[in-house]
Chains A and B, each alone.
Chain A
Amino acid sequence: KQEVTQIPAALSVPEGENLVLNCSFTDSAIYNLQWFRQDPGKGLTSLLLIQSSQREQTSGRLNASLDKSSGRSTLYIAASQPGDSATYLCAVSRDTGGFKTIFGAGTRLFVKA
């Protein structure tokens, strides 16, 4: 059974710091991995999607990497800002249709001004 783990559960950093969020999964037979952002009381917004054949994806100050063989992904946030404060979730799709996307519990990030 696929399990997705995110460590740490919470993280507090000063503004301007570069940081890394971690995601691990137990079954390497995935089609893709996604990183989402969730603001309090809101839904999830997709940040980056890495296909299984890819090693990384970048969007602005965000860079996500994927190492399927070791079951790990990282989300790198450069020059963090208070507006980056949110919960970040990773999720893996483990069949062709992506029907059963499995989520981690998330890392709650707080960036102090």
Chain B
Amino acid sequence: NAGVTQTPKFQVLKTGQSMTLQCAQDMNHEYMSWYRQDPGMGLRLIHYSVGAGITDQGEVPNGYNVSRSTTEDFPLRLLSAAPSQTSVYFCASRRPGQRSYNSPLHFGNGTRLTVT
């Protein structure tokens, strides 16, 4: 059981380039989300999805796009990379159900992104 898989593990971009961070889960979780982790700031929510075809913004959505065409995949797109987007990005998922908010988040191992 792979859990939550993120690719790539590392990426270096130049300012203005675009790219897609991949996230896939094999646990049939309806809820998926993207966080960024910066030193001393904890994790901040970028976007989240409660099921295929449904997405919404988190705390820091500017500069990022998401889509959810399948239950398994939730890619994060950087449209025009900026140095301020240098960070570690984590994808997380949670099992479905009426009381899903009381089930733990499952995290991938992260993508370390550097924008020069």
Contact = CB atoms under 8 A, between A and B. Distances in A.
A99 B58 CA distance: 9
A14 interface: no
Interface string B1-24: 000100000000000000000000
Contacts of A49: 102-104
Nearest to B56: A99
B1 to A, nearest CB: 15
Interface in A49-76: 49, 51
Interface stretch (B35-43, B62-70, B72-80): B35-43
B90 A105 contact: no
A97 B105 contact: no
B109 to A, nearest CB: 5
Contacts of B106: 46
B31 interface: yes
A35 to B, nearest CB: 10
B28 interface: no
Contact of A99 (B31, B42, B90): B31
A36 B37 CA distance: 14
Interface residues of A, number: 29
B109 A97 contact: no
Interface in B85-116: 90, 92, 94, 100-110
A4 B104 CA distance: 18
B56 A43 contact: no
A106 B42 contact: yes
A97 B100 contact: yes
Interface of B: 4, 31, 33, 35, 40-45, 48, 50, 56, 58-59, 90, 92, 94, 100-110
Given A44-B92, A105-B40, 18 more contacts: A4-B42, A31-B101, A34-B105, A41-B110, A43-B110, A44-B43, A44-B107, A46-B104, A49-B102, A89-B43, A91-B43, A93-B101, A97-B31, A97-B100, A99-B48, A100-B58, A102-B45, A105-B41
Interface of A: 4, 9, 31-32, 34, 36, 41-46, 49, 51, 89, 91, 93, 95-106
